[in-house]
Amino acid sequence: MGLSIGIKDGGGTANHAQALVKLLASGRAIVNAAAVEIGQGATTALSRIAAKILRLPLDWVRYGAIDTDHTPLDNGTHASCGTAVTGIAVMHAATDVCRQILEFAAERLGCTPDELLLDNWTIRRGNYAHPLEPMIAGHFGGAGFEFIGRGMIKVPNDPRAPLGAQSFFWMPSWVGAEVEVDRETGNVRVLQLVVGADAGRSVNSVACRGQIEGAALQALGQSLFEELRYEGGEPVNATPLDYRVPHAVDLPDRYEVVIFEHGGPGPFGAKGIGEAGMLGVASAIANAIHDAIGVRLTEIPFTPERVLAATQASS
């Protein structure tokens, strides 16, 4: 058995992002932000944040196409910043558009915005409900109107910090590995892998789990066999046929992901989680190998050749 703790600063350094939320007369919304959907779930997470604030069904929200002529600026889809950093910009944009709608409705209804509540594209004032669609059509006519909310975030610079800014959030992970080592062949088999990470408060728990599972499996491959190898200046396995990545058969017999929710600076307490699963896997496996056979491997991947060589060197 081996343990490991991974930690990295998350969200980028002194990062910033901008977002727009467009609310159409029909109550359908478009979120415009430049966190690219790379399979991590930015589309759903950012739409869900907007839907929550606008009190709309999730399927009334669409994540807009990204082009740099129209989409507000984002520093890029990396550093696990989509939910926590871009998400804050989306949250502010949704809050801004909400305020505009309440002001518009207050003017129509001859009251103050704080008497009103937006819910399911209806304005509620005490016991009365005023659907917004006819209210907008009645006032604007024509093609109706779009309310456009703006939001941004800038993580403050701090020249006293080594990186020039305080870490926006910390991305810890905890790994436990149980291995079986074949002393004759040097083969390492991971029987059990448990990976924990802190989502702050998850915006989409299934996606969080997927992120940790995927990252940890990527790290498992690098720990045991995956490597782009060179002989001199020439790569020897730089084709998909020869380059070995983890397959389904490489999954540990027992593979468990634990999501903690300890709060974070993102929307509704969220944190980024996309990289966390990568961090501690290699060391947990090295530590488990040491625990199993009393031999320390200090070079990844822990191939059978290296395990045998290390065993022979120590005996």
Stretch that binds other proteins, among 88-96, 110-118, 181-189, 221-229 (CB under 8 A): 221-229
Q: By CB under 8 A, tell whether 111 contacts other proteins.
A: no
Buried b (16+ CB within 10 A) or exposed e, 100-130: ebbebbbeebeeebeebebeebbbeeeeeee
Q: By CB under 8 A, tell whether 163 contacts other proteins.
A: yes
Between the alpha carbon of residue 61 and those of residues 71, 142, 153, the distances in Å are 16, 23, 22
- Distance CA(58)–CA(19), nearest Å, equals 18
Q: By CB under 8 A, tell whether 54 contacts other proteins.
A: no
Task: Give CA 274 to chain center in angstroms.
Answer: 4
99: tokens are 């305020």
List 21, 79, 97, 212, residue binding other proteins (CB under 8 A): 79
Q: Which spans in 145-298 are helix H?
A: 205-224, 276-279, 281-293
Q: By CB under 8 A, tell whether 44 contacts other proteins.
A: yes
Of 23 and 71, the one with the shorter C-beta distance to other proteins is 71
Of 47 and 149, the one with the shorter C-beta distance to other proteins is 47
Which parts of 288-307 interact with other proteins (CB under 8 A)? 290, 296, 298-301
Segment holding 2, helix H or strand E? strand 2-10
List 238, 305, 312, 314, residue binding other proteins (CB under 8 A): 238
Q: By CB under 8 A, tell whether 7 contacts other proteins.
A: yes
- Report, in Å, the least distance between residue 220 CB and other proteins: 12
Q: By CB under 8 A, tell whether 314 contacts other proteins.
A: no
List 56, 105, 132, 219, residue binding other proteins (CB under 8 A): 219
Residue 126 and residue 112 in contact, taking contact as beta carbons nearer than 8 Å: no
List 22, 28, 52, 154, residue binding other proteins (CB under 8 A): 52
What DSSP letter does each residue of 10-53 carry, written as one string?
ES-SS-EEEEEEEEETTS-EEEE-----SSSSHHHHHHHHHHHH
128: tokens are 């009365």
Of 111 and 206, the one with the shorter C-beta distance to other proteins is 206
Mapping DSSP to helix (H, G, I), strand (E, B) and coil, where does residue 158 land? coil
Q: By CB under 8 A, tell whether 191 contacts other proteins.
A: no
Segment holding 221, helix H or strand E? helix 205-224
Q: By CB under 8 A, tell whether 62 contacts other proteins.
A: yes
Q: By CB under 8 A, tell whether 243 contacts other proteins.
A: yes
- Report, in Å, the least distance between residue 54 CB and other proteins: 14
The single residue listed with the structure tokens 């399911």 is 120
The single residue listed with the structure tokens 């059990």 is 192
Which parts of 252-281 interact with other proteins (CB under 8 A)? 260-265, 268-270, 274-275, 278-280
Per the residue annotation, which of 107, 227, 275, 299 is the catalytic one? 275
- Report, in Å, the least distance between residue 112 CB and other proteins: 27
Q: By CB under 8 A, tell whether 127 contacts other proteins.
A: no
Residues contacting other proteins: total by CB under 8 A: 103
| 275 belongs to the catalytic site | yes
**Angle ∠(89,92,94) on CA atoms, nearest 5:** 110
Q: By CB under 8 A, tell whether 144 contacts other proteins.
A: no
Q: By CB under 8 A, tell whether 32 contacts other proteins.
A: no
Nearest to 267 by CA among 149, 93, 43: 93
The single residue listed with the structure tokens 């046929």 is 241
Stretch that binds other proteins, among 103-111, 120-128, 233-241, 248-256 (CB under 8 A): 233-241
Catalytic site positions: 275
